[in-house]
Structures are given as structure tokens and as C-alpha cells.
């Protein structure tokens, strides 16, 4: 069997747990690169890391997880950082600093490198809109996480370049999810999945809609669970599994990810430097 090659490209962050004063490496593109690696894929991360403590935390964790960072950039300045509070294991985002996250400066050689992968994954937080068409043209398959930031204009502008679309729709009822999935397929995606928190997920391959319930989990921390779903879904899809099996693989791994802290561990103490405004603490 061919080993799948998956590139996480774009956003990274340091997830900073304010109450416990602990920081974890994270960000959607980073999490997918790491979690797909844990599932057996060969993975890499391409993005911009700061030359501060936060950047070194993310960089060191990626190395420790066996993710190729030969094409990641180190930029002078603060790494992106998100501030998080928790309530019985569920996370609430308090705010963020973008840092050097979007200082890419792509070259032709970068797109040649991107073309060495079977799939590239990015997100709405990656600020890659200017190069998204070329990114999509460089790789056989592009997946994109819209999180809960999707809107009509964004979907219309990006979906023609996206093969697999992931969206958050915790507030949507079943009919709303179905309409959103149909919109994604109609605008160009070949697969679309809406995750709905405790109500599970719904997905489509353009032929029918498949529901996927949440599976039992011992919840320690829900941060990263959605990225776990994405990672396992993508690996299963590259394995050639049918849509229902991809959905179940995603739900199974999401439940596992809920059992550890941070997106994939590697927590370190945080001294409070560069913290959120006092009103958010």
C-alpha cells in the first residue's frame, strides 16, 4: 500500500490555557499534520513560526512528532497565540494574537514541493486566499476547514478550489445542515462534512447524506477533537474507504483526541507574557 503524504499548510498557534497557565502547540494545519502522522501518514507542515518561545514550542513539538518542517518559515516576531478558558473540559476562546502567521512569501519552489503530496490541508484561519487557486492546482487534493467562519461569499470564492470541505454547524438543524452540504457540492467540492459538536456530524459525497453520531469518549479536553475528526477522515478517504466508513473513522479518532490535553499534548508552563487583555482573563 502506498503511504499517504499529507501536508498541513497555513495556520499554527500556541493554545494558551489561561486558568492553568499552560500552553500547547496547535492550530488546525499543525494539528492535522501531527494527527495524520499518528495515524500512519507521512506528513509535513508549511507555515510561519515566530522566533520566540511560542514558535519554539510549536517547532519542537512538530519535530518530536516526526512531522517534516523543512519548508516551514521562521519569522522575526511573536508566534500566533490563542487564549482559552475551560468549563468541565469544554473550551471557550477568549481572543488571539495573529503574530507572524501569515508572512509566507511563497516561491515557485514551494509550489513544486507542495506537489509532492497526495493531499494538502488548510483552513479559514490561514490567510491563504491570494494563493488558494495555485495551491489547489499544485496538489491532487485540497481539503479546507471553514470552522464556523463560513458565509455565502467565502464559500462561493473558495469552493471551486476545494475537494473536501469541513464546516462547523453546531447551531444548525438537520435541514440547515443538508442545505449547507448541498451548497458545498454545488459550488465545487466533491465531499462536504458539517460537524455539530455533541450532535455528531453530517456529510455528503454528492450522492446522499450520511449522519454520524458522536461516539462515547472519556472527555479530558475537547480542544482538537474536530481536527482529529478531519485527520482520520482524510486518511480513510485516501485509503479509498466509502463515505460512511470515513465518517466513522473521524468520529472514532475525535473521541480519542478528547482524552488528552491540548490538540496533541506537549504542554509547557506559561508565564503570562503576551497574555490577553485583563478584561478577558
Tally of domains within the chain: 1
100 touches 50 (CB < 8 A) = yes
The 10s digit of each residue's pLDDT in 96-113 is: 999 999 999 999 999 999
69 touches 44 (CB < 8 A) = yes
Domain membership flag for residue 185: yes
φ/ψ (deg, to 5) at 189:
-70, 150
| pLDDT beyond 50 at 280 | no
Domain that holds residue 115: 5-270
The 10s digit of each residue's pLDDT in 41-87 is: 999 999 999 999 999 999 999 999 999 999 999 999 999 999 998 77
Domain membership flag for residue 238: yes
pTM of the predicted structure, to 2 decimals: 0.94
Q: What is the mean pLDDT of residues 180-191?
A: 97
* Mean pLDDT for the chain overall: 93
Question: In whole angstroms, what is the distance from residue 142 CA to residue 162 CA?
Answer: 5
Q: Residue 281: which pLDDT band, with cuts at 50, 70 and 90?
A: very low
Question: In whole angstroms, what is the distance from residue 163 CA to residue 168 CA?
Answer: 17
Domain membership flag for residue 146: yes
Indicate the pairing of strand 119-123 with strand 90-97. unpaired
Q: Beta strands of the chain (E only): which ranges? A: 5-9, 13-17, 22-26, 42-46, 48-50, 73-75, 81-87, 90-97, 119-123, 142-145, 164-168, 191-195, 201-204, 209-212, 268-269
Instruction: Specify the CATH number for the domain of residue 185.
Output: 3.40.1190.20
Task: Please give the full DSSP string across 11-44, using - where no structure is assigned.
Answer: --EEEEETTTTEEEEE-HHHHHHHHHHHTT-EEE
**What is the model's pLDDT at position 19?**
86
Question: In whole angstroms, what is the distance from residue 231 CA to residue 175 CA?
Answer: 26
Domain membership flag for residue 189: yes
| pLDDT beyond 60 at 239 | yes
Q: Residue 150: which pLDDT band, with cuts at 50, 70 and 90?
A: very high
Domain membership flag for residue 149: yes
The 10s digit of each residue's pLDDT in 200-215 is: 999 999 999 999 999 9
What percentage of the chain has pLDDT greater than the value 90?
86
Domain membership flag for residue 277: no
Amino acid at each position: 500500500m502506498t503511504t499517504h503524504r499529507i501536508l498541513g499548510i497555513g495556520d499554527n498557534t500556541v493554545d494558551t490555557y489561561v486558568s492553568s497557565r499552560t500552553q500547547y502547540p496547535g492550530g488546525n494545519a499543525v494539528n492535522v499534520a501531527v494527527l495524520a502522522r499518528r495515524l500512519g501518514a507521512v506528513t509535513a507542515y508549511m507555515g510561519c513560526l515566530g522566533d520566540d518561545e511560542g514558535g519554539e514550542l510549536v517547532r519542537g513539538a512538530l519535530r518530536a512528532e516526526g512531522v517534516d518542517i523543512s519548508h516551514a518559515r521562521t519569522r522575526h516576531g511573536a508566534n500566533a497565540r490563542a487564549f482559552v478558558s475551560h468549563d468541565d473540559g469544554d473550551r471557550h476562546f477568549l481572543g488571539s494574537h495573529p503574530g507572524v502567521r501569515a508572512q509566507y512569501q511563497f516561491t515557485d519552489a514551494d509550489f513544486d514541493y507542495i506537489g509532492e503530496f497526495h493531499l494538502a490541508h488548510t483552513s479559514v484561519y490561514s490567510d491563504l486566499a491570494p494563493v488558494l487557486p495555485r495551491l489547489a492546482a499544485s496538489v491532487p487534493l485540497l481539503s479546507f476547514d471553514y470552522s464556523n467562519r463560513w458565509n455565502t461569499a467565502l464559500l462561493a470564492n473558495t469552493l471551486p478550489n476545494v475537494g473536501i470541505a469541513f464546516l462547523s454547524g453546531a447551531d444548525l438543524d438537520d435541514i440547515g445542515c443538508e442545505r449547507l452540504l448541498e451548497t458545498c457540492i454545488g459550488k465545487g467540492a466533491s465531499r462536504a462534512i458539517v460537524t455539530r459538536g455533541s450532535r455528531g456530524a453530517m456529510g455528503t459525497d454528492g450522492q446522499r447524506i450520511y449522519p454520524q453520531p458522536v461516539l462515547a469518549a472519556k472527555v479530558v479536553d475537547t480542544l482538537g477533537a474536530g481536527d482529529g475528526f478531519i485527520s482520520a477522515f482524510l486518511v480513510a478517504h485516501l485509503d479509498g474507504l466509502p463515505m460512511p466508513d470515513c465518517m466513522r473513522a473521524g468520529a472514532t479518532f475525535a473521541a480519542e483526541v478528547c482524552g488528552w490535553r491540548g490538540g496533541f499534548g506537549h504542554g509547557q508552563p506559561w508565564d503570562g507574557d503576551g497574555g490577553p487583555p485583563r478584561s478577558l482573563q
